[in-house]
A and B are shown apart, each in its own frame.
Chain A
Amino acid sequence: MDFGIKENIVAIVTTDKNMISTTTVPVFYANSEEQKEKTALLVSKITMGMVHDLENGSYVIVKH
């Protein structure tokens, strides 16, 4: 049995420049849809997280 924080948001990838980066979750800004898609893929591969679409121009990467 392994213990630890699960189901947490590890990063946000967004095209929405109004989103404010906080200290808890890093926010990656993207200029276009393609760039957002690519950044999300790269970050998810690094963190082994999963990309979820919030349908408001933002992706969240969640570790399950």
Chain B
Amino acid sequence: MEKFSMQIILALFMGLLARIYMIRIDQRQYPSYPQGLISHLTLGVIASSLGAVALPALIQKEYGAVTFLALAAQQFRDVRNMERQSLDNIEGTELVPRGTAYIEEIAKAFEARNYMVIITSLTTSIFFYLGKKINLHLYGQIVLGALTGMIMAAVLKKVLKRQLIMEIAEVKPAKIHFKGPLLMVNDVVIMNIGLKASRKIYEEVGIAVEIIPHDANGRETLASIGQRQAIAHNTAVQLGIRKDVDEPDFTPMLRRNPNNGHIVFSLIPMEPNIDLLVEAVKRTPVLETAKRKPLESKKGKSENNQLKGEL
């Protein structure tokens, strides 16, 4: 195994680097810090070691080791389960729930990132070995392996990059008003608010936006209830929400204008700054599971295009 040590160490290191490159801790506080971060980095080390030893095991004709690797790779499906379960468990404690679609999205992303680590370390190890085959100097092998590993990580990150709301729709500030007890945003009914005190708060500090999809694809994507809940959760977390458990009046809600598919959204944030709200909505990821593409279909295309004209 001595002759492969450099190859394995380099691949392991590149894999771990790829994992760190993909970990993002931001204002949404997910993955949580510090325990969540440590557990994901540890899983990253395991994943990258799997990728790193795969090629040496094959070269040594250790076919048993390869089947063992396949078994170990199965374990990464549990990462998704683990994430889903833990997010499901804390769902009841959130003032504005994430919604099941968003949870599924996060869980899937963590699984995919571990596979990305395996692929990166495997690529590094393959190119290191190729460097050896064409009689490169040891430093040459290291540079070749590290370089291809880096390129692979960058490419995978680009592939795994999610769309943002601002790529499928335009977000504009909107006006809140009341029609009797009905809370309206740009003439779309959000809900019936009975208490006059609550209505007053909405009129004083409430802010609202209208999300206008660019085309029929965006329109159908935004129709997804999971996507809408994800927007509500993200903005509420970033702007802070003026609400407690016994105040359902201030639950942020996204409602759809059934005539044209526009989404309206009103919120009572701790910081009533409309620019922040627009920015937060714009930067919400488009959920993979919510994505719809009616314009891609053969049959519905003409009708969808006609509908597009109405937008």
Contacts and interface: CB of A to CB of B under 8 A. Distances in A.
By CB atoms of chain B within 10 A, which of A37, A51, A55 has the most? A51
A50 interface: yes
Contact of A48 (B181, B197, B246): B246
Given A48-B248, A50-B249, A64-B248, A41 B180 contact: no
B194 A53 contact: yes
Given A53-B181, A55-B180, A40 B245 contact: no
Contacts of A64: 248
Contacts of A28: none
A53 B180 contact: yes
A51 B246 contact: no
B181 A55 contact: yes
Contacts, number: 36
Contacts of A49: 248
B195 A51 contact: yes
Contact of A52 (B192, B245, B246): B192
Nearest to B194: A51
A1 B188 CA distance: 31
Contacts of B198: 51
A50 B245 CA distance: 11
Interface string B213-234: 0000000000000000000000
B22 interface: no
B156 interface: no
Q: How large is the interface on B (under 10, 10 to 19, 20 to 34, 35 or more residues)?
A: 10 to 19
Contacts of A44: 195, 246
A49 B194 CA distance: 11
Contacts of A59: 194
Interface residues of A, number: 15
A50 B196 contact: no
Given A53-B180, A53-B181, A55-B181, A41 B248 contact: no
Contacts of B249: 50-51
A52 B194 contact: yes
Contact of A53 (B192, B245, B248): B192
Contacts of B192: 52-53
B196 to A, nearest CB: 6
Residue in A37, A40, A45, A52 whose Cβ sees the most chain B Cβ within 10 Å: A52
Nearest to A13: B194
A45 to B, nearest CB: 5
B193 interface: yes
B16 to A, nearest CB: 37
Nearest to B180: A55
Contact of A41 (B181, B193, B195, B245): B195
Q: Which of B193, B194, B197, B249 has the most CB of A within 10 A?
A: B194
B19 to A, nearest CB: 33
Interface of A: 37, 40-41, 44-45, 48-53, 55, 59-60, 64
20 contacts: A37-B195, A40-B195, A41-B195, A44-B195, A44-B246, A45-B246, A48-B246, A49-B248, A50-B194, A51-B193, A51-B198, A51-B249, A52-B194, A53-B180, A53-B181, A53-B192, A55-B180, A55-B181, A60-B194, A64-B248
